[in-house]
Amino acid sequence: MAKGLDLAEIPINANRSSSGKITALRISPADYEFLLLMRSKEGDSFTPEQWAARYHLTALINASMYLPDNSKSTGYMRDKQHTNNGFIHNSFGSFFVANPMRKGLPVVDIIDRHQKEHKKLLPSYATVIQNYRLFSESRTPLWPEKASETSIAAVAKDVDGNIVFIHCRTPMTVRKFTDRLLESALNLESAMYVEGGPEASMFLKTSKLSRTWAGRYIGDFWNTENKQWVLPNVLGIRAKSKS
């Protein structure tokens, strides 16, 4: 792979009775910086490969769900002085934060909106993205068991402070997806749902591997397997400069 990156595939069923799998990319914040790229700021939307090429990204994933205008995030989203959506959604319980503006804070984190300190912490980060939580601080799944199945993209943090980009092409309920993550060896501390359906995407390009993971429609097993959807907002990583 590459320094600071680890790629793993997790069978959807622990007994491996299904060919479906969840793909997880573990990222060390010591080796990579995190960039939020938005159509509202950059002026256009691009495919994952185009975003990566334009901004020299090693990997990327959906930043969030978005509204019908194909630009505005469904929850709060800000990067430095540019605000894509200044509304804090009452139903969204997670904030991905990066690029702290004061010393002593983690360089990247996922903050639970139900923590008392979250209102003090958010202004201290240049990058903030709000989305649904997958599970609570006590590792209790928060999504209903009975729901529609969909492809899923998620962003998580493990117990060691690494960030994990996660993608599942095989449609499944968010609850089953969450349960599988919690019982896996990823050792996740927090996780947020960033997109579902065909647009759920992840991209990786290293010297050893270049690949796009795309979601699919229910009943579509082949036609969209390698499709690159145009995404308005992405969360990407770029290798830190060697000092």
Cα 12 from Cα 17, distance rounded (Å): 9
Measured torsion, CA atoms of residues 194, 21, 238, 233, in degrees rounded to the nearest 10: -30
Which residue, among 157, 145, 205, 150, has the nearest Cα to 172 in the 3D structure?
Answer: 150
Q: What's the pLDDT tens digit per position in 191-229?
A: 999 999 999 999 999 998 999 999 987 666 555 566 889
Taking 60 as the threshold, does the pLDDT of residue 17 lie above it? no
Q: What pLDDT does residue 242 have?
A: 72
136 pLDDT band, cuts 50/70/90, is very high
Taking 90 as the threshold, does the pLDDT of residue 230 lie above it? yes
15 pLDDT band, cuts 50/70/90, is low
Q: What's the pLDDT tens digit per position in 157-188?
A: 999 999 999 999 999 999 999 999 999 999 99
**Torsion sign, CA atoms 90, 94, 96, 100:** positive
As given in the structure block, the two tokens for residue 234 are 């992405």
Cα 197 from Cα 26, distance rounded (Å): 22
Q: How many CB atoms lie within 10 A of CB 204?
A: 26
Taking 80 as the threshold, does the pLDDT of residue 92 lie above it? yes
Q: How many CB atoms lie within 10 A of CB 219?
A: 6
Q: What pLDDT does residue 16 have?
A: 61
Q: What is the DSSP string of 27-96?
A: E-TTTEEEEEEEHHHHSS-B-HHHHHHHHT-SEEEE---B-TTSSSBSS-EEETTEEEE----TT--EEE
- Report percent pLDDT > 90 for the chain: 84
Cα 52 from Cα 49, distance rounded (Å): 5
62 pLDDT band, cuts 50/70/90, is very high
Q: What pLDDT does residue 220 have?
A: 61
Q: What pLDDT does residue 36 have?
A: 98
As given in the structure block, the two tokens for residue 121 are 């912490």
Q: What's the pLDDT tens digit per position in 19-53?
A: 789 999 999 999 999 999 999 999 999 999 999 99
